[in-house]
Structure 1
Amino acid sequence: MLMFFFALLFASFISFLCRRFSESSDKGWFRSLFVHKVDARKDAHSNLLSKKETSNLYKIQFHNVKPECLDEYNNLEAEVQRRLHQDQDFPCEVVGSWNIWYGEQDQAVHLWRYRGGYPALTDCLQKLRVNKEYLEFRKERAKMLISRQNQLLLEFSFWNEPLPRKGPNLYELRTYNLKPGTMLEWGNRWARAIKHRQENNEAVGGFFSQIGDLYVVHHLWAYESLQSREETRNSAWQKEGWDVNVYYTGKTSPATIML
């Protein structure tokens, strides 16, 4: 009987404490164990990280080509790109077009720029859908491809805008897969780190995905040769702060060398 009395008294005491904790918090102490408060962002990271003075939108294409068709594919693609450049009705331009030298073999990479953002992209696609020559090109190209993938990208505000440069050069594409929610931290770190990689004019462009695989960052670098690449990268390691930036860079896909 005495044990029952003490058990009842203890239960009443616990009930009293629970009520007091609940009254002292809007959410209640029990709920606070499971609810994690996150400060809301004032704006989308695409607005915070991209360039305000331009409205450029980029598209990157990855085409896996049948090995026996690579030369024919390159010739066909070059001809179509030339025609699109010459036609003022299409608000798009090819920033670069490459074949993989080291990395995934028999792959072509194309980087397009749409000056005017999404409206320019939509305008271009609508015109291409009714362009008979382009539709024939797509049919011919499809015979040469194994698979293809693309992403829509914005450029980081602290990177150079990709511009034509004297060659010949080899290009390195580095792709990083970020954890969701870390894009702003990434941008803040690289806004400081990019100064370490400007001495040899190797920084071509930096982009982050908007449509397609998300939380993806692409860095594009240019070098005169593989030896120049090694010397430039070794030089960066001698600069204070570069090692910290690399430590927090995150998971990267294999580096791709393109010509």
Structure 2
Amino acid sequence: MLCTLRCALSKGKTAAALTSAWTDLTRGVQAKAAFATGPRQHDTTFYEFRTYTIKPSLMAEFTKLSNENFHIRMARSEMIGYWTYELGGLNKVLHIWKYDSFAHRSAVRSKLPQDKEWQEKYICKALPMIEKQEIEIAYLVPWCKLQKPEKEGVYELVTYMFKPGGPAVWGQAFKAAISTHVHNGYANLVGIFNTEYGLINQVHVLWWNENADSRAAGRHVAHEDARVVAAVRESVRFLDSQRNALLIPAPSSPLK
């Protein structure tokens, strides 16, 4: 399209031809902008979501092993939290790690095979218990800061799959839906993570509640609030799917 405009200029085309070429160019720019992922990512800090599916008969043994030895791994880099799935998944654990950059992650990961204590006390024993492992890299959305609850509770991980286009397409509507829940006291937000590696157009929202019953009560009241209903109705226009999981923090988890 830019070539078309240059050709029109070089050949001394009429004003009408120039206008047509310019219109084609701007339409192309607008089309690309509509599918942009939003503002450039300046903060290099990212979060790694590691989800493990454990063999059902070994879940209790795996949990005990992790509780006794995961401090060895936590000495290498910052862990945000470690949870087991209570609802929305079976025999699963999730831990989230924070890294300053991909170089930071590579440096940490390269040292783990050399850590004899970690390999002997944990990895060699844990690997036979694991059926499946999934890894995702995600960034906090620009308008969200990671929050740490003041007391212990349960966590809800809500995973949204949005239509293609990124935050430039669905960001404002989604922000309004989340903010309406938070500002009216229906939920306690921990963090919102936009996936970079893994399933694209996916967002994880981590919430804290005092217990499962308080979460259920808040959700019922929120669904009767016209402000929440209106905001959610606007947001779901961009939504393809949603999955909810209730998580219980492990004893070693920094987020309790």
TM-score (normalizing by structure 1): 0.74
The equivalent residue for 2:138 is 153
Distance change (3 Å), C-alpha of 1:105 and 1:42: closer
Which one of 82, 90, 108 corresponds to residue 71 of structure 2?
Answer: 82
Gaps of 5+ in 1: 1-22
Asked if 1:171 corresponds to 2:155, the answer is yes
1:37 maps to 28
The amino acid of 2:244's aligned partner reads A
Higher RCO (C-alpha 8 Å, min separation 6): 2
Paired position in structure 1 for 2:123:
138
Residue number in structure 1 paired with 2:55: 66
Q: What is the total number of aligned residue pairs between the two structures?
A: 223
Cα distance in 2, alignment partners of residues 41 and 130 from structure 1:
46
Bigger radius of gyration: 1
* Contact kept in structure 2, 1:177 and 1:216, CA below 8 Å: yes
Q: Is the 8 A contact 2:37 2:166 kept in 1?
A: no
1:81–1:94 Cα contact (<8 Å) kept: no
Shift of 1:194: 2.9
1:200, distance to aligned residue in structure 2 (A): 5.6
Shift in Å, 1:243: 2.0
Q: Distance in 2 between matches of 1:239 and 1:43?
A: 32
Q: Which is further off, 70-79 or 144-153? A: 70-79
In structure 1, distance between residues paired with 2:174 and 2:214: 22
**Superposed displacement of residue 203, structure 1:** 0.7
Q: 1:181 aligns to what?
A: 165
Partner of residue 243, structure 1: 229
CA contact (8 A) 2:141 2:194 kept: yes
Q: Which moved more, 1:205-214 or 1:184-193?
A: 184-193
Cα pair 1:196 1:236 within 8 Å, conserved: no
Conserved 8 A contact 1:95-1:163? no
- The one-letter code matched in structure 1 to 2:47 is Y
What RMSD, in angstroms, separates the aligned Cα atoms of the two structures?
3.0
Q: TM-score, normalised by structure 2?
A: 0.75
The answer as to whether partners of 2:181 and 2:228 remain within 8 angstroms in 1 is no
SS in 2 for 1:105: coil
Q: Secondary structure at the match of 1:100?
A: strand
Question: Partner of 2:28: helix, strand, or coil?
Answer: coil
Measured after TM superposition, the shift of residue 24 of structure 1 is: 5.9
**What CA distance in whole angstroms lies between the structure 1 residues aligned with 2:65 and 2:110?**
22
Deviation at 1:224? Answer: 1.4
Higher helix share: 2
Q: CA deviation at 1:154?
A: 0.5
Displacement, 1:120?
A: 1.7
